[in-house]
Amino acid sequence: MTEEHFDREFGPKLVALAQRIKAAGSSFVCYVDFDGGGCRTVELQPVPSAEARLTYLAAACGGNADRLILSMMKDSEKNGHGSVYLKLLEHGKT
């Protein structure tokens, strides 16, 4: 699938669905791969769940593990976490 095909056929429907889900009180995160790239559709509640935040971070980092880990560390500073591995990174035990 090309980006043009996605934009024409699926993009508007995903945006409308995301907005309806957010209006109903839930967060929506979607990432779609297509030839030559991908795109994400995101509507987060003001205080999204950890699952929604982590899914968004993974989609936003474009497959770059270093960016994802750094983003997770920043998110955990703001929102807290219970991750053994993030604790190791916080204490420099990598």
Mean model confidence pLDDT for the chain: 91
Comparison of pLDDT for 41 and 36, the residue scoring more = 41
HSE-CB for 31 with a 13 A CA cutoff: 14
Distance CA 54, CA 32 (A): 16
Asked whether residue 44 falls in the same domain as residue 80, the answer is no
Model confidence at 93: pLDDT above 70:
no
List all residues 6 or more positions away from 23 whose beta carbon is below 8 Å from its beta carbon.
none
For residues 33 and 55, state if they share a domain. Answer: yes
Q: Which of 84, 85, 61, 59 is nearest to 71 (CA)?
A: 61
- Do 80 and 50 sit in the same domain of this protein? no
User: What pLDDT is recorded for position 77?
Assistant: 87
Lowest mean pLDDT among 24-33, 43-52, 73-82: 73-82
Same domain, 20 and 51: yes
**Same domain, residue pair 50 and 20:** yes
Which residues form the domain of 93?
64-94
User: How many domains does the structure of the chain reveal?
Assistant: 2
Is 94 a residue whose pLDDT tops 60? no
Question: Model-level pTM?
Answer: 0.79
